Amino acid sequence: MNQTCTVKKYTFGTPFPTHAVVREVPAETGEVQELLVKGEGRVLQLLLDAEDIVFGLGEQVRGLNKRGWKYISNNTDESNHAEGKHSLYGSHNFLLVDGIEKIGLFVDTPGRVTFDIGYSMSEQMRIEVEDPDYDLYVITGPSSDAVVRCFRGLIGRSYIPPRWAFGYGQSRWSYETADEVREVVREHRERGIPLDMVYLDIDYMDQYEDFTVDETKFPDFAGFVQEMKEQHVHLVPIIDAGVKKAEGTYPVYDEGMEKGYFCKDESGKPYEVAVWPGRSYLPDFFREDVRTWFGDQYRSLLDLGIDGFWNDMNEPAIFYSDRRLKETFEKIGEFQKQNLDVHSFFEFLDTITGLFNSPEDYKALWHDTEVGRVCHDKVHNLYGALMTRAASEGFRRAEPEKRVLMFSRSSYIGSHRDAGIWQGDNKSWWSHLKLSVQMTASLNMCGFLYTGADAGGFADDVSPDLLLRWLGFAIFTPLLRNHSMRGTRRQEIWRMVRTEECKQILSLRYAFLPYIYSEYMKAAFADDMLFKPLAFAYPEDHRARHVEDQLLFGEGLMLAPVVEQNAWGRYVYLPEDMKLLRMRSAQDYDEEILEKGDHWVPAMEHEVLVFIRPDRLVPFGSGSAMYVDEVSETGLSVLGYVKTKASYELYTDDGVRRVERLEDGELSRFESFR
């Protein structure tokens, strides 16, 4: 906790307990002093100076600087991450106004919040909180860095995955059979492409029933998990929020129904929805007993040797509800009798598409919460977070000593303690590579350190150059997974035409792994960010403050990914002299000291640009490892740019035991003098 910051909490009405904040902060009485509060306290306004940058909001569209758009916290299964959108899968209501003063704002409410950041009026930020009951935290401090750390201190330590989860993972919707997975592993191993994880998407399940395995496609699953482990590959299955309706044949459904564990309608009847398996029910994760029950279900797979999961469709995504489907069919009957014209034709289309993730369904669902019955609509943004909490608590009971990999699609601040998140259903678009660069740093501010986008892009067809460039950035994100949607071009590295170059880029991940792991752990325990906008380190440098596509990565590096098609390099702004490494593999790179200022830096598609800051050292391995457990922390070489003297503290541990503080691992220090 940084002592130089001031935290003030303002409580409006009786807020719903989100448990996002873990530190007790006494509430102020009287008016919010830092802001001009209008209306009934649901509207907060702040004047922005032309120079102010507004950082934050975690998983959202657009750039690092959020000015100029309207963002709405409303967790949405949004498969089109276009700049005209307002909401994605998570709600991360933390903003940092970085101007002469540094102000952090956290609007703690599970309902909708609209952040109009210079969208209606350029010089004004207007925050509208839908629910009049909420907590507002206002943090002021001497620097952006201090304010973010202070905020992070309030919300508690970030999730720490097992070390193997820093390896490369290959995914596809879906690898349908054990033999298909074997083929994936064989192709990687035979061609010397590193691999630590293969992800199992929905088709591993028996009829899309959570916590089951289709025995015809994956016979002797426990044996198969073991066989993969022997090849140093962890299988990571998906778990969806919806539980299939299957009376008498699916014990999870039967028990959930019998014990009344599913979300109900206003009259108390379980509310039927549909997701992948068709008719399903949503567990009421707002109830502690339901969380315990659901969290304990993961055991069935843990017992088979599984040690990692991804939680999905937990906004929650709803294809349709029984109730609204009936209404829709009736309406369609009416349309059938009409001449569908300019109005009615589009109304007809909307009637059908409107079934999907309908706000009407969110209004019809009810939860039994720790403070009584609450309509889902009021607490919508917490649902995914509570599913993940259920899993995380289940892991603690099942594996008290061991770290389990978990990342989720939907989240709220607080989930960062339980899991990571992936950045959802992006597309194989250059703009989405850039979005991932910006989103990763924004998520770090909100505590989500274990994050990454689907490398190569999930939907649409990837091109070999995009995959190369994408890997050039993704090798630095803690979660490194190549995932793609069914029906799209196959995206596995070995199936692409530039396999060898992709493989060389991946070798860099394994060479940097001791640094990445060390920096991750240090960031987690210091409530720090792993990826930072340049503004955080060079606040006085006007140019640096506004750079949107370069990030500091840990204490020693700056990254400048190429995010444009057919570019032979890029302009890079250096706020101080740095050493450029133009890397083709862990063995093959050239170095050059570049002076502070602007540079055109050539970078072919198979080259990754890495900059070392002055007087910093970076431990570096051989890059020959085929999986994380093969990465040795002894015999490392050191990359560095030493002007006078530099030192580095390397963190190591066994990679699986749960750790609560930095001292639970080992720190070894090395130094270098010029």
Contacting ligand GLC within 409-468 (CB under 6 A): 409, 424-425
C-beta of 307: minimal distance to ligand GLC in Å?
A: 20
C-beta of 243: minimal distance to ligand GLC in Å?
A: 15
Which is nearer to ligand GLC, 306 or 529 (by Cβ)? 306
Buried b (16+ CB within 10 A) or exposed e, 196-230: bbbbbbbbbbbebbbbbbbeebbeebeebbebbee
C-beta of 458: minimal distance to ligand GLC in Å?
A: 6
Which is nearer to ligand GLC, 425 or 527 (by Cβ)? 425
The amino acid that residue 566 corresponds to is N
Which is nearer to ligand GLC, 315 or 607 (by Cβ)? 315
Which is nearer to ligand GLC, 108 or 201 (by Cβ)? 201
| C-alpha–C-alpha distance, residues 386 and 412, integer Å | 9
The residues, ordered by sequence, that sit 6+ positions from 517 with a Cβ below 8 Å of its Cβ are 163, 166, 651, 652
DSSP 654-667: -SSB--SSGGGSEE
Binding status of residue 361 toward ligand GLC by CB under 6 A: no
Contact 130, 39 (CB under 8 A): no
Binding status of residue 210 toward ligand GLC by CB under 6 A: no
| Helix (H) or strand (E) run with residue 384 in it | helix 383-398
Binding status of residue 145 toward ligand GLC by CB under 6 A: no
Binding status of residue 555 toward ligand GLC by CB under 6 A: no
Q: Which of 312, 315, 361, 501 binds ligand GLC (CB under 6 A)?
A: 312
Which is nearer to ligand GLC, 181 or 202 (by Cβ)? 202
DSSP 290-345: HHHHHHHHTHHHHTTT--EEEEESTTT--SEEHHHHHHHHHHHHHHHTS---TTHH
Binding status of residue 238 toward ligand GLC by CB under 6 A: yes
Which is nearer to ligand GLC, 202 or 610 (by Cβ)? 202
| C-alpha–C-alpha distance, residues 123 and 102, integer Å | 16
Which residue is at the shortest CB distance from ligand GLC?
173
| C-alpha–C-alpha distance, residues 275 and 280, integer Å | 7
Which is nearer to ligand GLC, 112 or 409 (by Cβ)? 409
Which is nearer to ligand GLC, 69 or 173 (by Cβ)? 173
SS3 143: coil
C-beta of 318: minimal distance to ligand GLC in Å?
A: 13
C-beta of 412: minimal distance to ligand GLC in Å?
A: 18
The residues, ordered by sequence, that sit 6+ positions from 460 with a Cβ below 8 Å of its Cβ are 427, 428, 429, 488
Q: What is the DSSP letter of 264?
A: B
C-beta of 459: minimal distance to ligand GLC in Å?
A: 9
Bridge-partner residues for 646, per DSSP?
672
Going residue by residue from 384 to 413, which x/- string records binding to ligand GLC, judged by CB under 6 A?
Answer: -------------------------x----
Q: How far is CA 430 from CA 77, 169, 456, in A?
A: 21, 21, 9
Rg of the chain over CA atoms, in angstroms? 25
C-beta of 376: minimal distance to ligand GLC in Å?
A: 21
Binding status of residue 503 toward ligand GLC by CB under 6 A: no
Q: How far is CA 175 from CA 238, 342, 361, in A?
A: 12, 43, 32
Which is nearer to ligand GLC, 263 or 313 (by Cβ)? 313
Binding status of residue 214 toward ligand GLC by CB under 6 A: no
Binding status of residue 201 toward ligand GLC by CB under 6 A: yes
C-beta of 173: minimal distance to ligand GLC in Å?
A: 4
Binding status of residue 202 toward ligand GLC by CB under 6 A: yes
Which is nearer to ligand GLC, 394 or 457 (by Cβ)? 457
C-beta of 488: minimal distance to ligand GLC in Å?
A: 11
Counting DSSP H helices and E strands in the chain, the numbers are 15, 39
Contact 173, 201 (CB under 8 A): yes
| Helix (H) or strand (E) run with residue 616 in it | strand 616-620
Residues that bind ligand GLC (rule: CB under 6 A) add up to a total of 9
Which residues of this chain interact with ligand GLC, rule CB under 6 A?
A: 173, 201-202, 238, 312, 409, 424-425, 483
